[in-house]
């Protein structure tokens, strides 16, 4: 792979700008999953051992660009980093300054990059501002590698030296290994609220999969081809596209569902009997049993997203049973990715039973589909530019 790697270049006593993926779920000002932060800690610790000056960039959630919103502040993450790196001085700032004063072996975390105007549009001016902060730019946020933004792409193009961090390298190598020659049967489990955001990936994964199991709003859109789905989340504009996929590929649609009615009661009923005042929240026991059999026979499992509203106790069973089915298939190579998927893995304590866990969601799926990502292409371009000088 023709890219510079952080561990293979001299970063000793250099000013390092790291783009990490610290986009963790936060509820009531408390982090509910530390997986992505913990995955980035080895990269931070490696740079600290080299006595580097470290500046960290990350996004959190989807705030309105250019506007500060307290609920999207990185402050809870900074507090967690201080707890995990107790002997390290960690500063926190919402200002991008070229003359930032930090000492060797110290860390500065800059506020949520999505508070900065021009971030999502890959603004040249903002990209240059980021690049001017450092001697070396380290891209180690696999979860945002599919986005062409100022902190993921533009900064790398303008930095003197750009390289991939160890987490990004690990993600690329592991995913390439998983998708190069997957053992069959291949089973894909794809959850989520919107089929529109995952349709192209769903289509491409269906081509390489023997079975595709859909959950959440994606499953509801497939159900809406033939049935009423009541107050459930689904996308009317994608029903026809879903119908074409269903006719062409082996896509498993839930045969029964757990619904919430107007009295907020939890009821299990056949998928074809959903009433107008009911909302599908999970799959039923009959669907669970059929899916368990499919997973049991799988040799490769690609998993992204929960099957139902797992955050609520009454609608957790589908996700719980299927996640354990994946974990208990010792013959299969299982790869899992996505923020909600990481939360599920933590909730049911199955981390050690999953072959490979990716920190990315959209990036995880896009890499499987396209075998590369924009940030990786940027790093390859920078490598070639340096070689030609």
| Encoded tokens for 224 | 């809406």
Residue 150 DSSP one-character state: I
| Cβ within 8 Å of residue 222, ≥6 positions away | 214, 242, 246, 251, 253
User: What are 283's strand-pairing partners?
Assistant: 257
- Contact between residue 300 and residue 275 where contact means Cβ atoms under 8 Å apart: no
Which active-site residues does the annotation give? 36, 194, 339, 362
| Cβ within 8 Å of residue 205, ≥6 positions away | 188, 190, 212, 302, 365, 368, 369
Give the position of tokens 């599908």: 280
Listed residue (3, 12, 34, 22) closest to 347, CA to CA? 34
User: Over the range 199-223, which residues count as b (16 or more CB within 10 Å of their CB) and which as e?
Assistant: bebbbebbebbbbbbbbbbbbbbbb
């Amino acid at each position: 792979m023709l890219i510079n790697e952080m561990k293979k270049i001299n970063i000793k006593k250099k000013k390092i700008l790291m783009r990490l993926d610290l986009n963790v779920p936060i509820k009531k000002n408390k982090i509910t999953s530390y997986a992505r932060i913990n995955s980035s800690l080895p990269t931070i610790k490696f740079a600290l051992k080299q006595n580097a000056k470290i500046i960290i960039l990350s996004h959190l959630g989807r705030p309105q660009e250019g506007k500060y919103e307290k609920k999207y502040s990185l402050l809870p993450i900074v507090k967690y980093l201080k707890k995990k790196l107790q002997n390290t001085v960690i500063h926190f700032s919402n200002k991008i300054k070229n003359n930032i004063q930090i000492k060797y072996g110290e860390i500065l975390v800059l506020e949520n990059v999505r508070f900065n105007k021009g971030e999502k549009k890959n603004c040249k001016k903002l990209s240059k501002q980021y690049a001017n902060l450092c001697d070396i730019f380290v891209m180690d946020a696999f979860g945002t590698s599919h986005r062409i933004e100022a902190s993921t792409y533009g900064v790398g193009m303008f930095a003197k030296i750009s390289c991939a961090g160890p987490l990004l390298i690990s993600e690329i190598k592991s995913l390439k290994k998983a998708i190069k020659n997957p053992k069959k049967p291949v089973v894909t489990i794809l959850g989520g609220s919107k089929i529109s955001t995952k349709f192209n990936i769903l289509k491409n994964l269906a081509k390489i999969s023997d079975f595709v199991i859909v959950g959440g709003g994606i499953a509801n859109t497939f159900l809406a081809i033939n049935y009423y789905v009541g107050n459930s989340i689904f996308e009317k504009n994608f029903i026809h596209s879903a119908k074409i996929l269903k006719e062409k590929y082996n896509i498993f649609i839930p045969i029964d569902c757990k619904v919430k009615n107007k009295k907020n009661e939890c009821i299990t009923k056949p998928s074809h009997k959903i009433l107008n005042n009911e909302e599908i929240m999970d799959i039923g026991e009959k669907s669970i049993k059929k899916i368990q059999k499919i997973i049991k026979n799988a040799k490769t499992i690609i998993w992204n997203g929960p099957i139902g509203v797992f955050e609520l106790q009454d609608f957790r069973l589908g996700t719980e049973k299927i996640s354990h089915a994946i974990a208990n298939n010792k013959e299969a190579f299982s790869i899992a990715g996505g923020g909600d998927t990481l939360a599920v893995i933590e909730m049911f304590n199955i981390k050690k039973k999953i072959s490979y866990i990716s920190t990315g969601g959209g990036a995880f799926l896009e890499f499987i589909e396209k075998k590369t990502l924009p940030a990786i292409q940027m790093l390859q371009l920078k490598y070639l530019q340096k070689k030609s000088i």
